[in-house]
Amino acid sequence: MSHMILHILNAQEKLTAHREWLNTCLTEAYTRANMLMKLPSLDIIVKAGSHVIPEKGHLGYSPEPGVVYITVDPENSAFCSNYNESLERMFAHELHHAARWAGPGYGFSLGEAIVSEGLAGHFALELYGGEPEPWERLNAEEVQYVGLRLYENWDRTDYDHNAWFFGTGNLPRWLGYTAGFKLVSSYLQANPNQRASMLVSANAEEFRTFIQTQ
């Protein structure tokens, strides 16, 4: 039986006021996600810090099998208000990554990363409904040429992850997230019986033909 162990790093007591809520919120999200797809047992490490998405007040990271790292900023009003189950949605996104790590892995090429992020975004929607996240719905002008660029660079393992996903180069911030979300959307439209929870072990190559280059 898979389970999660929550580690709240709190020697400086920055999270004392939030401990109980964090425990309840993350445990419930794990249980809910595990009902839709098989999750591995996970260590969930939560710490306070300012290196978060400013619009959300938190940041999740699942860079290896069996572990999810979460940073929350108690000074950020967005974290404290947790509008629209924001923390749970972020955690659901990371849980899909964690489940994928237990299968084919996050991936090393641009295409694999794009698919992993797109599936994780759709899983959060599958679990909690509502609208895509801001980084999953950049406007058409910002993503105008992404299809062709993605097609040409799909197999590259030397791609610049921070440029594609965080806008550190000459690409719009969050471009990779929107590209992944749109790609998985196209796949799901063509395969209406599928869900992100069912595609956790899918090979990224299955999505390649759904790249829109126009």
Q: What is the pLDDT of residue 214?
A: 55
- Determine contact, residues 90/27, Cβ cutoff 8 Å: no
Residue linked to tokens 């572990």:
67
Report the C-alpha gap between 185 and 196 in whole angstroms.
10
Which DSSP helix (H) or strand (E) runs through 32?
Answer: helix 19-36
In contact, 57 and 79? CB cutoff 8 Å:
yes
Q: Which domains does the chain have, with CATH numbers?
A: 4-101 (3.30.2010), 110-208 (no CATH)
Query: What does the alpha-carbon distance between residue 129 and residue 122 come to, in Å, rounded to a whole number?
Result: 9
**Burial (0-12, 13-18, 19+ Cβ within 10 Å), 209:** exposed
Q: Which two tokens stand for residue 177?
A: 């997230």
Angle at 150 between CA 145 and CA 151, to 5 degrees: 105
186-195: long-range contacts, CB 8 A cutoff, minimum separation 24: 186/210, 186/212, 188/122, 195/36, 195/122, 195/126
Q: How far apart are CA 187 and CA 182, in angstroms?
A: 9
**Chunked mean pLDDT (size 10), the chain, 214 residues:** 96 97 98 96 98 96 97 97 96 98 96 98 97 93 87 97 93 94 97 98 97 77
Q: Quote helix, strand, coil % in the chain, to nearest 5.
A: 50, 10, 40
Q: What are phi and psi of 46, to 5 degrees?
A: -115, 130
Helices (H), 60-145: 77-81, 86-101, 110-128
